[in-house]
Amino acid sequence: MAFHVDEGSTAFWLEFVVKFHGGPGDIESVEVLHSGSSSFQPAKHNWGANRMLINTSMKAFKAPYDIKVVSKLNGHAVTANKVIPEFFEPGKLYESHVQLAYQNVAHSRVRIATKVMHTKNQDCAHPSHRIAGRQLQAKAEIDSG
């Protein structure tokens, strides 16, 4: 996975594109942690594949930047640590050493559905929860061979 810093980016406004991300499909969210900060800040969708981080505090962001990317389909999250350096150059591509995983989607859905429908709890009074959960588990067993 790599990050292309757009022209015009500064310590007060950072715009970038996540490139070459693997995994099954679209990106759910992108967050940025700048040096000296204790929490990630959401990068807003700007246009196309562009994400932006706008500084509303009037204090310059401090690089290097850590960027967390979450896959929409399976929820897999990776963090590229210090991927955009302190003295970044607008227009440059910065490569990371992380990649989104392409996990068995059917297995992920079963795990999520099982949790939501409480199929592990056989005392659940709602019959459709147990039936739907068993159907999803059976489908996953067929899909996974």
- Could you report the per-residue pLDDT of 52-90, keeping only the tens digit for each? 998 878 888 889 999 999 988 888 899 999 999 999 999
Averaged over 132-145, what is the pLDDT?
44
Across the beta sheet with 41-42, the strand order is 41-42, 27-34, 65-71, 77-84
CATH code of domain 2-95 = 2.60.40.760
- What does the alpha-carbon distance between residue 14 and residue 10 come to, in Å, rounded to a whole number? 6
Structural domain boundaries in the chain: 2-95, 105-144
Q: How far is CA 144 from CA 1, 32, 135, 139, in A?
A: 28, 36, 14, 9
Cis peptide preceding 42, ω within 30 of 0: no
